[in-house]
Structure formats: C-alpha cells, structure tokens
C-alpha cells in the first residue's frame, strides 16, 4: 500500500423530500450540480491503493464540498505517487509533491482559451488506467450492492455504514486470493 494512492469521490443521494416529522430536509446533506443534473446528498471520498484498488482511507462530506478539500486525510503520507482526476489538480500541491520526490499523476486540466496540449492529453491517458482502479469500490457499492441512496439521517451514521461497506468491498476485491490461500 505504500506505492501510491488514488483519490476519488462519488455522490450518494439522500431523500430530498420533506414528508417527515420536522417538515425539513436533512440539514447535514447538501445540494450540488454535476453536469446539468442536481443532486441532494453526501459525497464519499476514498484514498485507495494503486496496485489492488484497496480502500485505505474513506471520508464523507456534504455534497457541496469540493473534492480537493478532504484530500489530505485520504493520503497516508508515505506515497511515492498520487493519482487523481482533474478535480484534485492544483499547482501548489503539484510543486509540493515534486519537492518531496512524489510523482504527481493528477490529470491536467485545460483552462479557458488554453486547451490541453497533445502531450498533456497523452499524459492524462497514460495515468487513466491506474486512476480507474479507484472506481471499482464505488462500482461494488452502487451496482452490485445497490447502495445508491443513504439509509440514515445525518453524516455520522452514514459514514459508519460506508466504513463498513468499504471494508466489505475490500474483502470482495481480494476474495479470489483469499479463497486460493484457504
């Protein structure tokens, strides 16, 4: 697990209705826009291993929180490489990582009137196969176990449930290796 860390996040929706005793939505959840679609709920952020995609640091925040805000707790500190999508890119973090001798493999992003160069596109494509491993725990949770909507009110209970689910997703990820050794 000390080779590198892949950071990623996903939105988990919460019921947005007000048909409850207090006639209010959950105050700890928030609303955010992804593409042209609005979501109400929370975000699950993970730091996962580059070799096997094993989640080692899960975090949760309200949905409106930017992906980069909880990035520091997702890292274990002994990384030789940091991978992430373009939401995690910041020049100051890139300089700090390079000063420590850490490979900064976060996707480059174009700015208005300055699209990505061909070499930047090639670099992003090169690291995308490693970054894709962080999507697998989310696929297990959302597609196989149908965890697409939070079960409880508030972040604490949902965070505890996500910790348990990511632990189980790690076991699911290495199930074949465990069965071979048994």
DSSP string, 116-164: PPHHHHHHHHHHHHHHGGGHHHHHIIIIIS---B--SSSHHHHHHHHHH
| d(C-alpha 10, C-alpha 7), whole Å | 11
The model's pLDDT over 89-101, given as tens digits with 9 standing for 90+, comes to 888 999 999 999 9
Structural element, H or E, at residue 175:
helix 175-181
Say what the pLDDT of residue 2 is. Answer: 54
- d(C-alpha 97, C-alpha 87), whole Å: 16
- Mean pLDDT for the chain? 91
Tell how far CA 27 is from the center of its chain: 23
Query: Would you say the pTM of this structure is higher than 0.85?
Result: yes
Contact between residue 42 and residue 62 where contact means Cβ atoms under 8 Å apart: yes
Closest CA to 5 of 80, 85, 93: 80
Residue 40's DSSP bridge partners are 31
DSSP 8-state symbol, 80: S
Q: What is the pLDDT of residue 1?
A: 43
What is the C-alpha to C-alpha distance for residues 29 and 42, in angstroms, rounded to an integer? Answer: 6
Q: What pLDDT is attached to residue 19?
A: 77
Distance CA 37, CA 18 (A): 20
**Contact by Cβ (8 Å): 17, 42:** no
Low-confidence ranges of the chain (pLDDT < 70): 1-2
Give the max Cα distance, the chain. Answer: 57
Degrees, nearest 5: CA angle 80-109-97: 25
For residues 169, 171, 175, 179, the Cα torsion angle rounded to the nearest 10 degrees is -160
């Amino acid at each position: 697990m000390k080779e590198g860390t892949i950071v990623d996040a996903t939105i988990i929706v919460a019921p947005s209705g007000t048909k409850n005793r207090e006639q209010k939505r959950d105050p700890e959840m928030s609303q955010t826009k992804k593409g042209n679609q609005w979501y109400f709920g929370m975000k699950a952020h993970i730091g996962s291993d580059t070799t096997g995609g094993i989640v080692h640091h899960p975090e949760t925040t309200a949905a409106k929180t930017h992906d980069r805000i909880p990035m520091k707790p997702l890292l274990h500190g002994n990384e030789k490489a940091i991978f992430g999508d373009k939401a995690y890119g910041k020049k100051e973090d890139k300089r700090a990582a390079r000063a420590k001798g850490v490979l900064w493999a976060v996707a480059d992003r174009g700015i208005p009137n300055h699209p990505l160069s061909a070499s930047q596109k090639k670099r992003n494509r090169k690291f995308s196969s490693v970054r894709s491993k962080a999507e697998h725990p989310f696929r297990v949770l959302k597609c196989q176990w149908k965890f697409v909507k939070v079960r409880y009110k508030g972040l604490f209970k949902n965070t505890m449930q996500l910790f348990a689910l990511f632990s189980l997703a790690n076991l699911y990820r290495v199930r074949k290796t465990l069965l071979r050794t048994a």
